[in-house]
Amino acid sequence: MRSWPSIELVGAALFVLGSLFVSGCNVEEQGGDTGGLGGALGMGGEDGCARALAVVLSDYASTQVALVDPFGQTESESLISTGSIRTDGLAFALSGDVALPGTRLESGRLVLLDRFGTNVMTFVDPYSGRVLHQLSVGTGFESNPQDYLEVAGRGFVARFGQNTEPGREPFDDGGDLLVLDALEPRIRGQVRLPASGDLPARPTALAFIAGDILVTQAHISLDFRTTGEAALVVVSPDEEAVVSTFELEGYKNCSRATPSPDGETFVVVCSGALDPTGAVESIEQSGILVFSAGTRPLEIQDEIPALELGMGPLQADAAFLREGLLLLKTQTVLDAVENNRLLAVDLDARGAEGLLEAAPSSSGDGKGIVYGGLYCPGTCAGVCILADADQNVLQRIALGAEGEAELLPPLRVEERVGLPPIALGPF
């Protein structure tokens, strides 16, 4: 099994280039699509809670998207896949490098981000299973879209790729937020993001907090050999312009801004600069940063270095199980002695507890990153869910009687094809 790449933060460039152009493995012939949830687009979610979760199952050659409820129970084993034929005019087949938006979209649609080598967004009605639209966001270069957010009828696409010869097409420079008319959809503009010296912007993740779009930037060189300090850029969705930039001094390769359940704070988790095996350049570049959600300009309220937690470098991803209790994953090196771990971190006590550890490979070495997408429902009904490509299951975490993290029995998404789950996205 391939290790799940921590490359969510570096645009799929370090681990999966060799698999992006492999043809699909006849997913349709092995099972076939099972349709959507039933009903009409726009059902559910009026309270801001997710109706369901999309699960990307993939070996980085073939991709299948399933739907599960907020408790991890499967509702549709294959909404759409690499081998789909009933897609109502799907012009671009899904590749092996498909990502999901990190936050629920106001339109209620499911959006798939086909990244490096494809540069296409696919808009799906999760109730009928019908493909509504497809939109190329390459504009003449490898734009490598990483995240997507909708605000007041407009869509914002984080484009990691940087065009070295711009000016041949509209909006073709990259390192930006491409602005869409979200409902049609069509390209209507862009927000150029600040570079850091000679290092391009490299936006990797988006969050909508206190009326602003917070863009996480990785600042990685064009040849991927140099990683600068990360930054959070505040963008006004109304003005479609950068308001301010906050440099995360000393920290590299950081996550999206993840709001706490009460919305008063948010955290950013940083892994540090990575080499192609997933090894971190320096553990001092990894840690947890806590911000006040409504304070502008941005200001760090607290920081917990990974070194202080004593669990090794952290993956740049996080979810709140409850107020003050954060779920994290370790940043684990491929073929090392360590195994990928799921952690519960008490932000007040500044301590970490190991909840789950992946099994080593048959040779006894670590498999690298096998713990992928992580989702918690906040104040909504449901449980926290982790995509576990090691066991090919969804791990489920709930609150125990004393407010601690408690593992529930894991669930398999489907039994027919057997692709590992790697990513999650609410809708």
Tell me: the pLDDT tens digits for 118-151? 999 999 999 999 999 999 999 999 999 999 999 9
Amino acid identity of residue 198, one-letter, is D
Dihedral class, residue 107 (left if φ above 0, else alpha if ψ from -120 to 50, else beta): alpha
Domain at 6-426: CATH code: 2.130.10.10
Q: What is the pLDDT of residue 5?
A: 35
> What is the structure's pLDDT at 334?
87
Determine the pLDDT at residue 90: 60
Nearest to 265 by CA among 305, 190, 343, 207: 207
Question: How does pLDDT run across 158-216, given as a tens digit for each residue?
Answer: 999 999 999 999 999 999 999 999 999 999 999 999 999 999 999 999 999 999 999 99
CA distance 191 to 154: 13
Percent of the residues in the chain that have a pLDDT greater than 70, as a whole number: 90
Structure tokens at 110: 């499911």
Question: Does the structure show a pLDDT above 60 at 88?
Answer: no
Structure confidence at residue 93 as a pLDDT band (50, 70, 90) = confident
Confidence of residue 1 (pLDDT cuts 50, 70, 90): very low
Neighbour count for residue 47 (Cβ, 10 Å) = 8
Q: Give yes or no for residue 2 having a pLDDT over 50.
A: no
The predicted-structure confidence for 405-423, as pLDDT tens digits, reads as follows: 999 999 999 988 999 999 9
Joined tokens for residue 170: 């509209």
Could you tell me where the beta strands, DSSP code E, fall in 91-230? 98-99, 110-114, 120-124, 131-136, 145-151, 154-162, 174-181, 186-192, 203-209, 212-217
Alpha-carbon distance of 330 to 315, in angstroms, equals: 5
